Amino acid sequence: MAMASIPDKKRWLADYRATTEELERIAARELAAMTDEEALRRIHLLGPCPTPWRERPDWSGLVEQQAFFHRRKKP
């Protein structure tokens, strides 16, 4: 399979940007037209976020991380 030429890449990038911008415009119009009730209904469809797992709630691992990065090789 041959590599795409530079003009093809530039055309693809231009098409990608144009498509992305159009999708952003569509999303903005949909959000602007959405009622509060519809927005709330969609938020409820997302469901609850799970609680992130942590070994200990009072521990971030920062001390261990700093010790790891500051270790020096012994001569």
pLDDT in tens, 6-58: 789 999 999 999 999 999 999 999 999 999 999 999 888 888 777 766 666 67
- Tokens at residue 55, please? 């070994």
CB 34: neighbour CB atoms within 10 A? 13
- Tokens at residue 74, please? 């012994």
- Model confidence at 74, in pLDDT bands (50, 70, 90)? low
Residues 4 and 12 sit within 8 Å (Cβ to Cβ): yes
What would the DSSP string read from start to end of 14-64? HHHHHHHHHHHHHHHHHHHH--HHHHHHHHHHH-PPPPPP-S-TT--SHHH
